[in-house]
Structure 1
Amino acid sequence: MALVGGRGREGPKPPDPPGGAPNAAFLKALEAVVAAGKRGLLGPAALAAAERVPELSPRTSSSVEGNSRGVSQEVPGPVPLNAQKKKKKKQQPRVAMAVNAHLPDVTSPQKEIWICGNSVVLASEKRAKNSLHGLQLGIPASRAHVYWHGRFAMKWEHLLLVLCDIYHKRPSPSVLIIHLGEDDLLPSDNFSLLMSMKNDLDILRKAFPDTVIIWSSLLPRCGSKKHEKTEHMEKALKEINTRMADYCNKIDVHFLSHSSITSDKTGLFLPNLTALSDAGADIFIEDVQTVLRLYELFG
């Protein structure tokens, strides 16, 4: 059964939060997107679309202040999310810090988990829908709601615009998982892609200081080595993953590795060698569940 077609039915959605002030940090982030485009770090399509982004609908962000994270360690690792900070009498403006962000309180009901990306996310969503744990991945609905947003052949330059669109419709995320980039990868010279990835993750880190951001490592897009171009692609993929692991550590973003999904395991890919099979999607889902367990979301 093909796994990259239309999207499956979503689970029940929590109600939107009551009206209030828009997220000023996110507006600042969108301004940064435009600035990045002027420096040549974003494609022309992304820049043009970013300049047309409307003002966000006035509403209160659902993020909740938690304990501060410490300075990033050498290896990205989990940070407990079940500690709650005393509320301030008067809300103070947040200063977005890459190594001193705030954590959400995931013990409150109906926290948001966004899983956003390309056909890998799309295939995993369809597989999860038919699995024992369902689209919630085994997480009780009383604790969090898992929102899937996969798009076939989605490019990296679409990420911030897609997240902006989701932001209009959903409460702010407590956890944001991003899997994207295989459709942008070239056999050589991926400097622009690497810079865009770093730039956009840095923007998101500042726009969502209370959110756990998880960057999911790139997966091979074929299940066999047939020609020299494929070997170059694998080398480029490994280089991107290595550099992004280092950068995620610097800006306090969790790096999620998929070490069990490799190009020599042909059974993990569909016959066209461009998307995950059921077995491959199962492993991807298990990796996501593993990292979410580190953040005590399962109860």
Structure 2
Amino acid sequence: MAEIAGSTSREEILKESGPPAILGQGPNVWIIGGSYVRRGEERARHTMGSNLGLNCRVWWFGKGGLRWRNLLPFFYQSLRGRTVPDALLIHCGGNDLGNIKASPASPRRRDGVQRGGRKPDILVPG
């Protein structure tokens, strides 16, 4: 963000974002996906903090080479011993480009993730 804005310092960004979340307070947000998520976590940790300066607890689950067919098993594995997230951001499918059609399967993927979390009120936008 600071690189885009040019004159905005890291401290100004953090000040505008508010105080970091205290563990156990605020909503739990999961970011799950492939290597971009893994590298995004590293970048966030070194720039604005792993919770992205938001008043929530951000959990990062990145696995290099993740494909759609492995998303639900990876989600179940990540869910073990943790509470179901209040919000779920998925970045997946880049490794599938050219191999599958996205549009017919998308509703099934959303439904599967909602059922997989056993929390039907998780919003998975299409």
TM (norm. structure 1) is 0.32
SS at 2:71's partner residue?
A: helix
Alignment of 1:129 with 2:45, yes or no, is: yes
Aligned residue pair count: 103
- How far apart are the structure 1 equivalents of 2:73 and 2:23? 22
Please give the root-mean-square deviation of Cα atoms over the aligned residues, in Å.
Answer: 2.1
Structure 1 residue aligned with 2:36: 120
Structure 2 residue aligned with 1:157: 69
Structure 1 unmatched runs, 5+: 1-11, 15-108, 215-247, 249-299
Which has the greater radius of gyration? 1
What is the percentage of aligned positions where both structures have the same residue?
A: 27
Structure 2 residue aligned with 1:71: none
What does 1:193-212 align with in structure 2 at a 5 Å threshold?
193-206=102-115, 207-212=118-123
What does 1:37-52 align with in structure 2 at a 5 Å threshold?
none
By how many angstroms is 1:135 displaced?
A: 0.5
TM (norm. structure 2) is 0.70
Give the counterpart letter for 1:199 in structure 2: R
What does 1:26-37 align with in structure 2 at a 5 Å threshold?
none
SS at 1:198's partner residue?
A: helix
Check whether the contact 2:72–2:112 (CA below 8 A) recurs between aligned residues: no
The match for 1:139 among 54, 72, 82 is 54
Structure 1 residue aligned with 2:100: 190
SS at 2:110's partner residue?
A: helix
Check whether the contact 1:156–1:197 (CA below 8 A) recurs between aligned residues: no
Check whether the contact 1:128–1:134 (CA below 8 A) recurs between aligned residues: yes
What does 1:95-106 align with in structure 2 at a 5 Å threshold?
none
Check whether the contact 1:114–1:148 (CA below 8 A) recurs between aligned residues: yes
SS at 1:201's partner residue?
A: helix
Structure 2 unmatched runs, 5+: 1-21
- Higher strand residue share: 2
By how many angstroms is 1:180 displaced?
A: 0.2
